[in-house]
Amino acid sequence: MEFSEINCIFLGVAKCASEGIHATLIKSLGKDRCHNHDTWQDVLRRHNDVENQRVFMVVREPVQRFYSALTYLQYQPQWSGLTIANVLKICHNRNNLQTAEDLAGLDVVFHPQSKWCAGPSGNKETTVEIVPFESLPEFWKRFQAETKAGYGIEICDLLLQNSTPAERKLQVARPTREEAEEIRKIYADDVKLYNDAVRKFSEK
């Protein structure tokens, strides 16, 4: 999502506060935009000059994101009642599951987070600022000061408005230790991406 008023491009990773941030910036800047999940490569295909743009995205611990994705999908009839074990079993049967790319065909919420910051070579693009989900409130304060956008708007409030209702979460059991280990193996690149983001953010 592009916000030319503040020279900013937000890459909305599915199930990583993309709706909350989008809503916050829309409320602040007063101009609507279509909410999307464009990757960095999607942006590059549309624009030749992004040198002066601030580009950022939010990443989430992979197991937490996977659980959030499945609770979110309970809104859709075809997913209602499915458990983490069911989803992993379906994927194994369908694709002999090996990597996160095998899950990507199910829904955008299962796409690997590393996909959003990959450059043309497929490697992580250094231009993209990676923000850990848990550090979003702290990041938002800096972002407000640097861009002059979002003053008076608490991002935590908007994140709560766009979060999955508690009753939906009750319909999906938390992952077992074995399931969590399997999810981390599937999303090994995302585990590294998230851990690196946490470390770098703490050093700022």
108-130 pLDDT, tens digit per residue, is: 888 889 999 998 777 777 889 99
159-191 pLDDT, tens digit per residue, is: 655 566 555 555 678 899 999 998 898 889 999
* Contact present, 113 and 193 (Cβ < 8 Å): yes
- The model's pTM is 0.85
| Nearest alpha-carbon partner for 130 in 47, 196, 62, 64 | 196
Beta pairing, strands 8-11 & 54-59? parallel
* Contact present, 155 and 24 (Cβ < 8 Å): yes
CA distance 204 to 200: 7
Enumerate the domain spans of the chain.
2-203
* Contact present, 170 and 84 (Cβ < 8 Å): no
| Nearest alpha-carbon partner for 82 in 172, 181, 166 | 172
Q: Which residues pair with 58 in a beta bridge?
A: 131
92 confidence band (pLDDT: 50, 70, 90): low
